[in-house]
Structure formats: structure tokens, C-alpha cells
Amino acid sequence: LARLDEVHQLACKGGNGAVYTQISDVEGELNGLVTYDRKVVKPDVKRLNAAHTALIHDASQPTPAGCS
């Protein structure tokens, strides 16, 4: 969710995209959204979906909501 806040701030500055490149954990790294064996989804999916939906809505406006 912290990364989505950063993406929102980029949208406020005119940015128009972001890419999350590591969906699952890999050997030696633990920062994916699901475990290496893909048996455990680590984030709260409903909360993450709501945050993505809000970001897409805000960033799709002529002036993104919440920008100062």
C-alpha cells in the first residue's frame, strides 16, 4: 500500500503508469505477493484491490484527487 501512495504522488506530478515486476517470491527473495510455491497469498486481497481501484479512479481524473 505504501508503494501505491508513491504511485499516487507520481500521478500528481504527471506520471501515468507503474509496473510491479515480482508477483511471486523467488529463491532468495521474499518480496512477492505470493509465496515461492504460490500456496499463500500474503496481502489482504480485498484491501489491496480497493487501494488499486481507488488509485486508478483518482489518477484517471483530469486533476488527480488528493494532490496538493
**What backbone torsions phi and psi does residue 3 show, to the nearest 5 degrees?**
-65, -35
Please count the structural domains in the chain: 1
Angle subtended at Cα 5 by Cα 31 and Cα 23, rounded to the nearest 5 degrees: 25
Domain for residue 8, yes or no? Answer: yes
Residue 27: give the domain boundaries: 2-59
Please give the pLDDT value at position 45: 93
Domain for residue 66, yes or no? Answer: no
Which residue(s) pair with 29 in the sheet?
A: 26
Domain for residue 22, yes or no? Answer: yes
What are the tens digits of pLDDT across the range 22-56?
A: 889 898 888 889 999 999 999 999 999 999 999 99
Global pTM reads: 0.75
Domain for residue 52, yes or no? Answer: yes
Domain for residue 14, yes or no? Answer: yes
Cβ atoms of 22 and 30 within 8 Å: the answer is no
